[in-house]
Amino acid sequence: MRDAKTHLPHPEEEAGMVTSIPLSSGTRMPQLGLGVYLVTDVAVCESSVRSALGSGYRLIDTAAIYRNERAVGRGIRSSGVPREEIFLTTKLWPSDYGYAKARAAIGGALERLDCGPLDLLLLHQPVGDVKGAWRAMEDAVDQGVIRAIGVSNFTVSDLDRLLSAARIPPAVDQVELHPHWQQPELLPYLTQHAIAPEAWYPLGHGSATLRAEPAVVGAAAAHGKSAVQVILRWHVQRGFVAIPKSTNPLHIAANIDVFDFELSPAEMAGIDALGQDRPMFRLPRWMMAATMPLARPRPLG
């Protein structure tokens, strides 16, 4: 895996082609995908997934707590894109942690998505019976129903605790990550442990301040691209995975149009310099476990 400051495009990159990164699981993960957080209208969610896949996306990210897994599955099945070309991620919520609960929750996710084995399953928050849930996920990998497992919102100390007990190490940590918050403590740790960084806030929640930064605006003008496209290209060249959310077909298509140009070392350095000392989003630990009741999933075999 590249170190935290590598700025070169993937060696296999060709103009216009979505690049991918290797995971410790032995699979590869596309560097740009569609996130469907807060897409609660199931018809809109389904059409957004179809639109993304039609625009060239091959990574779709959902979660049990988003309550749209069935719509995501329908969008994938109706897209006309072969399932084996799609990298599908979902997540378990802490209310379904613990070995027995997680086993049942995995079966529920597989049933709701109805797309065969999952490419990646994440623990959504670092609270509750993490180790019990992780054992259930490891068993699901052994059974062939999950191809890779990882975490979301885990800090260095959270990962230390998990790695001390894990038989299969996490392949991904999905966290807030964008030019204004570059995870200075976490990224070197992820590199050390071959854990891929994935950004759930790749655009800083659509921050107008970030889009107006002179380093971003200047690069956009130089390449004939939008500020959003420059920020997403920065993620690609840093070696991150990014999952911007949109339900607008034009924005969905524009977000993936970042593989036909390359930011120069000076442009990358200018955007790197935008890092600040705190994230935009902070969720107290007690809130990480708060949830509406999830539908009881069907247990595995």
List, by residue number, the catalytic residues: 66
Cα dihedral: 23, 283, 134, 162 (round 10): 80
Task: Determine whether 192 is exposed, middle or buried from the number of CB atoms within 10 Å of its CB (0-12, 13-18, 19+).
Answer: exposed
The single-letter code of the amino acid at 208 is A
Q: Of 69, 5, 218, whose CA–CA distance to 60 is shortest?
A: 69
CA-CA-CA-CA torsion sign (219, 220, 225, 229): positive
Q: How far apart are CA 251 and CA 161, in angstroms?
A: 39
